[in-house]
A and B are shown apart, each in its own frame.
Chain A
């Protein structure tokens, strides 16, 4: 993937660029808003990672300008400002996601994956499938190997999110934000208990485990590839 990184802190920029390159992406970087904007408008990118606080042109304005020019590149904001209002401001300006510094790199990767997945026009899906697990989004029914699985509404949404990001790492924070729509750090791993309940329902008694824990990062649903 082609990624644009607009970050003025050199050390952070270097780290980010290196990490992304090592993950297999092609990366362009800019250290101020003006350069960042011109790059964004002149080359096609799959995703742009933009810091809020930039010299010459503020991150919010960069994205606002991009949108005004009809540029729909998904944008992930990075910011040291963690207040919820700042997050909303970022999203309103045209950003697609918002990550507060400091962040775990795995979190960044997971969110980038999620954003890019969002981008691919998959049409309106009515069904999701991973291995022999099927999720019917219209009837709100889950089946595995033909057997129907009883899921509570929240469990269904949890599974749906995981399956929409099948093969990608989904962090606890992402789950909290998307499935429960809350942005905070629960003190204990309350999400883990929901996951283990879900796992008990969809994996227990079946041969192949689909719901995996990625240590230090989060969870992933995938069928073991050959």
Chain B
């Protein structure tokens, strides 16, 4: 293919642009691109076949045409020779030679010395009478001598030992054919390039639509059930898919809400009778002790009741936090202070268990928040960390400023939480198999998640290698967004 070096330059430039495109080399792996690639390839092959066939057919026809002319001439001249003899032939050849045009004639003797005709010399070919020969000859043009190609037939005159050559100039025909053969590869190349570019653009578009769906799914999986897949109103397959997904999500959200409401109202309705139960048990203890009897059994019953009450209280707190009311109690909160208080509260417990509790403060960590809720959430995380970290372990509470906001984190060196369980543990009452026998309600992390949501952020559980790192990234004071309660009407927002 002609082009060589300039082509390479262009290709490199194209590659550079390609790398800079959004999607990059991922585009090459999309189904859309593959389909386009196959289609373009098939198309190119078809076009090539078609053009090749056209070329071959045209050439054959043109050749046949030219040969027919030559054949006719030879036959005609042969007849003339039969009728009019050598003199007649000589005359005709001379006449026709002077005619001009594309026909070439030469009458030569036994040694190929030219006698008449419009060719000055017998061309250098093998004299093969009856078959076609091709040769180069020179023609005088305005700028000088031009080498051209001719095709013809040689007739050997019997008896008189003469050679007659009749030929047609085929230079133009050859030029045309040559043009064809050089244009064809370029054409196919151009088809491929344009097809590929089109394919890239199409797959980029499709990738973008799919990315939007995937991104939203990711956010939903991470816990935000209010997200919906963006619908762009074009009513195409992607939109239909998006709308179906959204409807599915609506249903899931309703189910979860229903479930939560049931748990919450059960908790609410059962708290009061539970408390009355506790009070009556206390009365019995008081009475028995006054009478001098032992009240150990009843005291144990009171302890169990206390655990039940704690569970219900926690459930209700989570429900209230989830509902997002009481927004007015957000104040400017210095996280270092809260972290310090909680650290100090849990320090003796950690020491008792042989765990090192460390506090890393960060400068200027101010957020807009509810002090009580943040403290409770942090306490739950620290409580868990201490509970699950074996002796000689380390628990670190840290407050740090990052570009994304203020990060409050608790990291431990315990067994951690397997990544497949991380989204599960935040649900109410979920306890992992490994910790089933240790004390706890299974609500600690649910509350932390609710508090996180209340503050416009979310609880992130990560691997501390080893151990668990639980972190909350609070938005900076100026950037706090109005809280949307967890269960509001859904919006199909394009975000």
Contact = CB atoms under 8 A, between A and B. Distances in A.
Interface of A: 15, 19, 82-85, 88, 101-106, 154, 180-188, 190, 193-194, 196-197, 215-216
A187 B440 contact: yes
Given A102-B275, A216-B285, 13 more contacts: A82-B320, A83-B326, A102-B278, A104-B282, A105-B279, A105-B282, A181-B341, A182-B372, A183-B372, A187-B383, A187-B439, A194-B345, A216-B303
A182 B375 contact: yes
A194 B379 contact: no
What 6 A-B pairs are tightest by C-beta distance, nearest first? A102-B275, A184-B376, A193-B348, A85-B329, A85-B326, A84-B372
A128 B428 CA distance: 46
Contacts of A154: 344
Give the dominant DSSP class at A's interface: loop
B437 to A, nearest CB: 15
A88 B371 CA distance: 13
B425 to A, nearest CB: 15
A101 B271 CA distance: 9
A188 B344 contact: no
Interface string B358-377: 00000000000010110110
Given A83-B325, A186-B383, A104 B376 contact: no
B414 interface: no
A84 B329 contact: yes
- What's the interface size class on B, roughly? 35 or more
B314 A185 contact: yes
B317 interface: yes
Contacts of A88: 329
A187 B349 contact: no
B346 interface: yes
B65 interface: no
A92 to B, nearest CB: 12
Contact of A187 (B326, B329, B344, B380): B380
Contact of B310 (A83, A101, A185): A185
B408 interface: no
A84 B345 contact: no
B349 to A, nearest CB: 5
Contact of A101 (B275, B299, B346): B275
B32 to A, nearest CB: 53
B126 interface: no
Given A101-B272, A105-B282, A216-B285, A193 B352 contact: yes
A89 to B, nearest CB: 10
Nearest to A18: B283
Contacts of A102: 271-272, 274-276, 278, 309
B282 A216 contact: yes
Nearest to B273: A102
Interface in B269-306: 271-272, 274-276, 278-279, 282-283, 285, 299, 302-303
B274 A182 contact: no
29 contacts: A15-B279, A19-B279, A82-B316, A82-B317, A82-B320, A83-B320, A84-B370, A85-B326, A88-B329, A102-B271, A102-B276, A104-B275, A154-B344, A182-B341, A182-B375, A184-B379, A186-B345, A187-B379, A187-B383, A187-B439, A187-B444, A188-B349, A188-B383, A188-B386, A188-B387, A188-B439, A190-B349, A193-B349, A197-B348
